[in-house]
Structure 1
């Protein structure tokens, strides 16, 4: 039962705020010679515009107060100026009766006072203002020297940066010039690498084939090159020892056949041949034992 009155009160409040905003917008746009643009009055826009309205009214009140104060001070200054003018005229120092150089000097003095932002033309006020200007001048000179120093440092940094940039650009140009030959060299190396990989596969296959052949013929690691060299040397020695025997046997072929002598000679040669074979076997066994 209590909800509808609240809703009605809220709707009435929104309608009053919208009406107030419409009047305010019409007045503001009317002062600018423009018409109020069409837009939708949503709760968000109404709240935002109402905040602007409050801020505008507060600033207008502040400006009105300041303007009234300025008008009051201006009236006071005008009355004071009239009173001073009457005093000057009473003592014969009116502006019209003064020489032009005096009027010019007074105008210059007034301009200097305005420039120094002082309210009177007393000597002490000028001295204080000049001292303040001197202090500010010293501060400005210090800041200027600091800025010049920083500018010099920045200029030095800028020159170094420009030099480095120039060096980098020159290096980049050189690298770009060297890029095509390097790419060609890389392609050549790539081709050579492919060829070497193919050769490697071929040599590995050949090595596997040779190992298979060695295994098939009964090769073992004990039969090394050194062992074969020693065996070859012993073979040469045996050939030297057996050659005279062979020569003797061949000479016997030229003799007339004698069965008894031939049998004796054959038995003797068989014994010598058997002794030579046993010596060769002993040498081979000793060579194999040494290699192990």
Structure 2
């Protein structure tokens, strides 16, 4: 059943607009819904001892209250069925208890005739039966319940072993993480201690960077000047290192080819330009050659005639 707070919230949430006029089957349906809602509200507020508050029955409020009424009535019917079943079971349990009590009294096992130890044992058996959630105290029921409990225990132990294994793995991961954290802290402390040194180095790098920037601008200016000079002298992209190397190789080949000719020409350059003078020069060379041979013979002859010491 719905509470009065839910009903009040439903009434407060209902809009104040007038319902749209309907005709035919729609109007009859709305009228029946309104009648059901009024009857349900009257019954609920009557139980609470209060009067139904006045409000406008708009389509939205009627629809909302009708859904609440349907849900409340369904739950009430379900609760009534469950309550009736529980009352029936209670009657059956009371009848069974009376029968068992009568049987026990007939065989001389009434509660008043039992010793305190027997009563305590019976209470223990009853407590164990309630703990095992069994309906009777038959040995088979206890065996089945204990077997089920053993299976559940094995399952729990298996899960516990799995959890312990996972816990060990997590613990190992945690230890490694703590070790890494300590290493990171040491590294951080080391970096913090080296901040001053690195700051000085950074200042030096900044100074060098400024110098390099200045050099770059200077070199760019020189490059532009060199390009202007090359443009003035008619340098083209066809003149490159490869072309110059080919020209150098070609020059070497030409020098090799012209060297014998140049040597011949140089030998001719030593001769006088006149034929007579050339003949005189040749005769002079012959005389010099003869004098040199004579001098060589004299030296050899004197060397041969010199007695050995």
Q: CA 1:21 to 1:191, structure 2 compared with 1: closer, same or farther past 3 Å?
A: farther
What's 1:146 paired with? 162
Q: Deviations over 1:32-83 (max 9, x none)?
A: 8999999997655654553343223222211211110110111111122122
Post-superposition offset of 1:17: 3.7
Task: String of CA shifts for 1:1-58, please: whole Å, max 9, x gaps.
Answer: xxx9844754564465456446656766887899999999765565455334322322
Q: CA deviation at 1:121?
A: 1.9
Mapping 1:127-276, distance limit 5 Å: 127-179=143-195, 181-202=197-218, 205=221
User: Which blocks of at least 5 consecutive residues in structure 1 are unaligned?
Assistant: 217-221, 223-292
* Distance 1:208-1:12 versus aligned 2 partners, 3 A rule: closer
In 2, Cα distance between equivalents of 1:71 and 1:214: 117
Q: Equivalents in 2 of 1:164, 1:41: separation in Å?
A: 70
Gaps of 5+ in 2: 1-19, 233-243, 245-309
Q: Give the TM-score normalised by the residue count of structure 2.
A: 0.54
Q: 1:80 aligns with which of 96, 107, 110?
A: 96
Change (3 A) 1:200 1:28: same
What SS does structure 2 have at the residue aligned with 1:119?
A: coil
Whole-Å separation in 1 of the counterparts to 2:42 and 2:51: 7
The change in CA–CA distance for 1:137 and 1:40 in structure 2 (over 3 A counts) is farther
CA positional deviation for 1:176: 4.5
Number of matched pairs:
215
Q: Return closer, same or farther for 1:215/1:159 CA change in 2, 3 Å cut-off.
A: closer
Is 1:94 the equivalent of 2:96? no
Indicate the residue corresponding to 1:64 in structure 2: 80
Separation (CA, whole Å) in 1 of partners of 2:57 and 2:204: 77
Residue 149 of structure 1 deviates from its aligned partner by 0.7
Q: Structure 1 length normalisation: TM-score?
A: 0.57
Shift of 1:179: 4.4
Instruction: Work out the CA distance in 1 between the residues paired with 2:165 and 2:223.
Output: 78
CA-atom RMSD in angstroms: 4.1
1:142 Cα deviation after fit? 1.0
